[in-house]
Structure formats: structure tokens, C-alpha cells
Amino acid sequence: SQTIHQWPATLVQPVGSPLSLECTVEGTSNPNLYWYRQAAGRGLQLLFYSVGIGQISSEVPQNLSASRPQDRQFILSSKKLLLSDSGFYLCAWSSFVGTDYGYTFGSGTRLTVV
Amino acid sequence: AQSVTQPDIHITVSEGASLELRCNYSYGATPYLFWYVQSPGQGLQLLLKYFSGDTLVQGIKGFEAEFKRSQSSFNLRKPSVHWSDAAEYFCAVGAGGFKTIFGAGTRLFVKA
């Protein structure tokens, strides 16, 4: 069965520090991968999505970046965090095979920038 | 442009009472529609989805949703709410390609 792992679960980082969040998927090949951010009391904002190794599409201009060095690995990064980067970050993968259309989400990373 | 509206930011129901969470969407074609549930500090779990066919869709945990094209709605229902249903619920529409648009969510509170 397919599983998705996301870590760390919580992170407290000072302003200006770098960021690296990692997400890996097991049990499937060539998944579509996504990073979402969820701010307090708000819905999900799509940050990046990837349809293959090295292919990254950015939805929102920001000081974050994403990379997909391997088929089932998706990394969210920042060189210098801002206070506004605080939030709940969710990784997800999706399949579009037949009616198997839907997202499977990781358990999320709570990022607090101080 | 595609959009999803969940008009209720939060809803409180008594345990054992029925529940209906509203969702309206804007999309040019027949959409893929979803409901997800999120417990505090957790990721989202798929409750049910609609692609085509029967407009009444059954999901996990006793939830169902009905697609009404004329009203552009996909409301989530449950006949009897349990305290464990307290969570945030997100309606979403598959916007074509690889994107899904999520509503802002409705937080459900269940009182004893």
C-alpha cells in the first residue's frame, strides 16, 4: 500500500535561518507531489507541485523553493525564513489512474518562525 | 476562475443530531468533488469523492454527500454525529490538470 512520510512534525526556527522539510512516498512510482501551506484559520494554499523528477511548478511567489531529487522525494526549502512563513505545511501525492483520483496527505509539519 | 466556497466557518451540533456542511463550487465543466477531514495537528483524510454517476456518494465514517449540478453544490451530511467527528472539514474541487482547489474549511464542534 502507498504511504507518505513527512518530517519533522514540529519545527521552531529563528528568522533568517534556513529551512528544509522532507517528504517521501512509498508504494507508488512517478507520483504527482505537492506542498501546501495552511495558515491558522485559513484553507490550504498550494505552494508547489511536481509531476516528475526535477519538474517543479510554483504557484505562489515567495522565499520558498522546492526540489524533487528523486522520484518519490519532495523537499521544501528556504534560505532565510520570514515570520510570515509560520504555518502548517502539508505534503501530498496524487494519482490520476482511472477513478483513483485524489490526494493522500502527510501528517504535516508545524513550523513556527520566531 | 474555479473556486470553492464553504459559507460556514464553524458549526456546532449536539451529539446524535444530524449534520449538513455546505459547499458551493464554481467550475466550467463537470468537476471532480471531494470532502476531506482534518483532525487537529494532522493531515487531511479523504472522506468521499464524486466523479460521475450516482449523485449521492457514500463515504467513510458514515458520511455522504450529494452533488447538485443545478445548485453547484456538494453538501456533506451525516445522520447522527459522534463526538469523534469534531474536526475541520474541507470541500475541494479538481480543477483539471494536477490542481485541486480547497475551500477555507468548516470547523465542526460537537457538544454533549
Q: Give the model's confidence band at B95: pLDDT under 50 very low, under 70 low, under 90 confident, else very high.
A: low
What confidence tens digit (pLDDT) does each residue in B53-71 have? 889 999 999 999 999 999 9
Query: What pLDDT is stored for residue B81 in this prediction?
Result: 98
- With a cut of 90, say whether residue A74 has pLDDT above it: yes
Total residues belonging to chain A: 114
All cell numbers assigned to A100: 483513483
Q: Which residue of B has its CA nearest to A87?
A: B41
The residue ranges of DSSP E strands in B10-112, in sequence order, are: 10-14, 19-21, 24-26, 32-38, 44-50, 56-58, 64-68, 73-78, 87-94, 100-102, 106-111
What confidence tens digit (pLDDT) does each residue in B29-53 have? 778 899 999 998 888 999 999 988 8
All cell numbers assigned to A82: 520570514
Amino acid identity for residue A98 in this structure: G
- Please answer yes or no on whether A102 and B34 come within 8 Å at the CB atom: yes
- Please answer yes or no on whether A107 and B103 come within 8 Å at the CB atom: no
- Contact partners, residue A66, CB within 8 Å, separation at least 6: A35, A47, A48, A50, A56, A58, A74, A75, A76, A77
Interchain contact A77–B (C-beta under 8 A): no
- Among residues B105, B82, B96, the alpha carbon closest in space to that of B11 is found at B105
